C-alpha cells in the first residue's frame, strides 16, 4: 500500500458525493498519495473515487464498527479488492461515546470487530486495514492487528508520542485540519468553528489533556494556543511547515483537510500540493 507522505482528507458532506470522481482525479493529478473519505462512510461509497483514478490510494476515515457487521464489511472489501486491492485501505474505528448509546469498552469492541474480519469467509488482510487511535492502548492495538494508526485532531506532540510508543514499522497516518486564509482573525474563527464539535467529544478532549491542554484551553471554543496547535492557519507554506513537523515527529503520512471551505477545495489542494509535493 503506497500512501505517500501527503494525502487529502474530506467527506461527501463537504464536497458532495456527486463530485467524488472529479475530486479524486484532481487529488491524483496534484500528486497526493491518498484520498481519505470521512464521515463514517459505507464502503461502497469509495467506488467512484477508485474508478475515477488510477494511482492514488483510497482510505476510509473511518468505517464505524457500531454501524457495520464485520462479515458484511469483509464481503464488500473482497468485491472492491478484486480490482483495487493495492489501492484500498480500510480505516476502522469506534467513533466517540456521544454518538451511540451502545458505546462500551472501545478496545473490546474493536478487538471483536477485527476478530470478525479475520473469521469472515473472505478475511480482510491485516495490511489492508488500520485503526483510528488516540490513546496508548488503541495505538498499540492498531499496530498489532493492522498496518497501524489513523490519528485525528492531534497536535505534533501526539504524533511524536505515538511513534515513540509504537517504534518503527507501524503506520502513523495523521489527519491535519487547516485553514488557508491570510487574515489571521478570519482564519482562527474558521478553525475555531471547525474545532467546536471535537471540543465537545471526550475522546478528543481526554487526548488533548494528555499533552498539556487544560480546561482553560478546551472551554469557551478553545484557546488560541490549542486551536493553533491542532488546526493551523495561514498560507500554504505555513501549513506545510506544520505538516512537515508531523512527518519529522514520526508520521509516515499526513492527510490534509482544509476547513472553512464549501465544496471541493480546489484552490486549497492546489496550493498545498505546490508547497509540499515536489
Q: Is 108 helix (H, G, I), strand (E, B) or coil?
A: helix
134-150 average pLDDT score? 98
The pLDDT, as a whole number, for residue 103 is: 64
Q: What is the CATH number of the domain that holds 256?
A: 3.20.20.30
Judge whether 63 and 131 are in contact, CB under 8 Å. no
Domain total in the chain? 1
253 forms beta bridges with 173
pTM for this model (two decimals)? 0.97
pLDDT digits (tens, 9 = 90+) for 148-164: 999 999 999 999 999 99
State the CB neighbour count (10 A cutoff) for residue 217: 19
Q: How far apart are CA 202 and CA 208, in angstroms?
A: 10
Task: Give yes or no for residue 91 having a pLDDT over 70.
Answer: yes
> Does residue 187 carry a pLDDT above 70?
yes
Write a three-state SS string for 161-189.
HHHHHHCCCCEEEEEEEEEECCCHHHHHH
What is residue 154's three-state secondary structure? coil
Please list the residues that pair with 255 across neighbouring strands. 7, 175
Asked if residue 191 belongs to a domain, the reply is: yes
Q: Is the pLDDT of residue 96 over 80?
A: no
% of residues, the chain, pLDDT over 70: 97
Confidence of residue 83 (pLDDT cuts 50, 70, 90): very high
Beta-carbon count within 10 A of 48 CB: 19
> Is residue 278 predicted with pLDDT exceeding 90?
no
Within a domain: 55: yes
Decide if pLDDT at 100 tops 80.
no
Model pLDDT, residue 1:
82
CA-based nearest residue to 128, from 81, 68, 172, 62: 81
Q: What local confidence, expressed as pLDDT, does residue 97 receive?
A: 67
Cα–Cα distance between 237 and 276 in angstroms, integer?
Answer: 8
Mean predicted confidence (pLDDT) in 104-121: 94
Q: pLDDT tens digits for 201-244?
A: 999 999 999 999 999 999 999 999 999 999 999 999 999 999 99
The pLDDT score that the predictor gives to residue 95 is 86
Domain for residue 224, yes or no? yes
Give the model's pLDDT for residue 262.
93
User: Do you know the residue count of the chain?
Assistant: 278
What is the grid cell recorded at 276? Answer: 509540499
Section 68-91 average pLDDT: 97
Cell of 102: 451502545
> Which residue range(s) make up the domain with 98?
6-276
| Domain-located, residue 1 | no
Nearest to 60 by CA among 71, 80, 270: 80
The confidence score (pLDDT) of residue 99 equals 62
The per-residue pLDDT for 92 is 98
The beta-strand segments (E) located in the chain are: 6-11, 34-38, 57-60, 63-64, 88-93, 129-132, 148-151, 171-180, 233-234, 253-258
Per-chain mean pLDDT for the chain: 96
Please report the pLDDT score of residue 98 as a whole number.
Answer: 65
Q: How confident is the model at residue 110 (pLDDT cuts 50, 70, 90)?
A: very high
Amino acid at each position: 500500500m503506497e500512501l505517500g507522505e501527503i494525502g487529502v482528507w474530506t467527506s461527501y458532506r463537504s464536497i458532495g458525493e456527486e463530485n467524488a470522481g472529479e475530486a479524486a482525479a484532481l487529488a491524483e493529478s496534484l500528486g497526493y498519495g491518498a484520498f481519505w473519505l470521512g464521515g463514517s462512510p459505507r464502503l461502497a461509497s469509495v467506488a467512484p473515487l477508485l474508478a475515477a483514478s488510477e494511482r492514488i490510494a483510497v482510505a476510509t476515515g473511518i468505517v464505524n464498527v457500531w454501524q457495520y457487521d464485520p462479515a458484511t464489511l469483509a464481503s464488500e472489501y473482497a468485491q472492491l479488492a478484486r480490482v483495487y486491492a493495492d489501492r484500498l485501505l480500510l480505516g476502522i474505528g469506534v467513533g466517540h461515546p456521544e454518538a451511540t448509546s451502545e458505546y462500551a469498552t472501545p478496545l473490546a469492541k474493536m478487538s471483536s470487530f477485527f476478530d470478525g474480519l479475520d473469521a469472515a469467509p473472505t478475511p480482510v488482510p491485516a495490511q489492508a486495514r488500520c485503526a483510528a487511535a488516540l490513546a496508548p492502548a488503541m495505538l498499540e492495538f492498531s499496530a498489532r492487528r493492522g498496518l497501524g494508526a489513523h490519528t485525528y485532531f492531534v497536535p505534533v506532540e501526539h504524533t511524536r508520542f505515538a511513534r515513540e510508543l509504537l517504534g518503527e514499522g507501524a503506520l502513523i497516518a495523521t489527519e491535519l485540519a487547516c485553514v488557508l486564509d491570510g487574515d489571521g482573525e478570519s482564519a482562527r474563527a474558521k478553525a475555531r468553528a471547525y474545532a467546536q464539535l471535537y471540543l465537545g467529544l471526550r475522546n478528543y478532549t481526554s487526548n488533548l489533556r494528555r499533552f498539556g491542554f487544560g480546561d482553560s484551553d478546551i472551554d469557551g471554543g478553545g484557546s488560541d494556543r490549542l486551536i493553533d496547535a491542532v488546526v493551523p492557519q495561514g498560507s500554504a507554506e505555513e501549513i506545510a511547515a506544520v505538516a512537515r513537523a508531523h512527518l519529522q515527529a514520526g508520521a509516515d503520512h499526513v492527510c490534509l483537510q482544509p476547513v472553512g471551505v464549501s465544496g471541493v477545495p480546489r484552490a486549497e489542494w492546489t496550493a498545498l500540493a505546490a508547497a509540499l509535493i515536489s
